[in-house]
Amino acid sequence: MHVSKDKTGLYGLMAEFDSAQGIVDASMKAVAAGYSKMEAYTPFPIEELNDIIHKKRTNLPKLVLFMAFCGMMTGFTLQYWASVIEYPMNIGGRPPATWPAFIVPSYELTILFSALTAAIGMLALNGLPQPYHPVFNVDRFSLASSDKFFLVIEAEDAHFAKDQTSSFLQSLGAKGVYDVAE
């Protein structure tokens, strides 16, 4: 069914919407029409859009949990090694391996490692910082961080055909449809 694939230098087609409800409805219809390589851009988080378009949730929490364990072990082994093996000190006859005293730094390092993983992991999984992305070639896209909502169907999508996709996006109630140069 792929006709007139005019994709040279084209990243995709971008449709502009005025409302949050508008882009949610449009995304659902685009998914129903069989498009899969697309992305919605919004000025604030709309959690439903990820469920509609990507249908999968991030692995970030598992990564954070793993690093939390690493942080805890780092904290504990650091203190155990320094206080028991490398530099044991007799303080009032107490044993060197005073594990209750080691809880606080272990706890703090657990949180430190997890928080850094949550922040850096989020950026890394998102591929940020990213100095260039084709969507910024569209002038109207600067409103995506203020009050407009954009849906981009990428040229790589199996169902993508420039003219049909463009009229499909128009039919969803888009305020405008723009070519996104690669």
Partner 1 sequence: MAQHVYAQQSATTLEHPVIGPGQDYESITEVVSEIPLGKRYPFGWIIGLLIGLAGLGALQLAIGYLLLKGIYIWGNNVPVGWAFDIINFVWWIGIGHAGTLISAILMLFKQQWRMSIARFAEAMTIFAVACAALFPLLHTGRPWLAAYWLFPYPNTMGLWPQFRSPLIWDVFAVSTYATVSVVFWIVGLIPDLATMRDRATSNVKRVVFGALSLGWRGSARHWHRYEVASLILAGLSTPLVLSVHSVVSFDFAVSVIPGWHAAIFPPYFVAGAIYSGFGMVLTLAIPIRSFYKLEHLITMKHIDNMAKVMLATGLIVAYGYGMEAFFGWYSANQYERFMLWNRMTGPYAWSYWLLIFINAVLIHVLWFKSVRYNLKYMFVLSLIVNLAMWLERFVIIVTSLHRDFVVSSWDMYSPTAWDFMMFGGTMGLFITLFFLFMKFVPMISIFEVRTLLPEAKVHVPHGHDTHGSGH
- Footprint (CB under 8 A) of partner 1, residues 151-170: none
What whole-number distance in Å separates Cα of residue 97 and Cα of residue 94? 9
Q: Are 12 and 155 in contact (CB under 8 A)?
A: yes
> Residue 132, interface with partner 1 (CB under 8 A)?
yes
Output 46 or 73, the one with its CB closest to partner 1.
46
Q: In angstroms, how far is CA 19 from the centroid of its own chain?
A: 22
118 touches partner 1 by CB under 8 A: yes
Contact residues for 68 (Cβ-Cβ < 8 A; gap 6+): 110, 111, 113, 114, 117
* Smaller CB separation from partner 1, 2 or 62: 62
**Per CB under 8 A, does 101 bind partner 1?**
yes
Which of 13, 17, 114, 172 binds partner 1 (CB under 8 A)? It is 114
Q: Which stretch binds partner 1 (CB under 8 A): 4-12, 40-48, 157-165, 168-176?
A: 40-48
Residue of 33, 125, 158, 181 interacting with partner 1 (CB under 8 A): 125
Cα–Cα distance, 129 to 146 (Å, whole number): 20
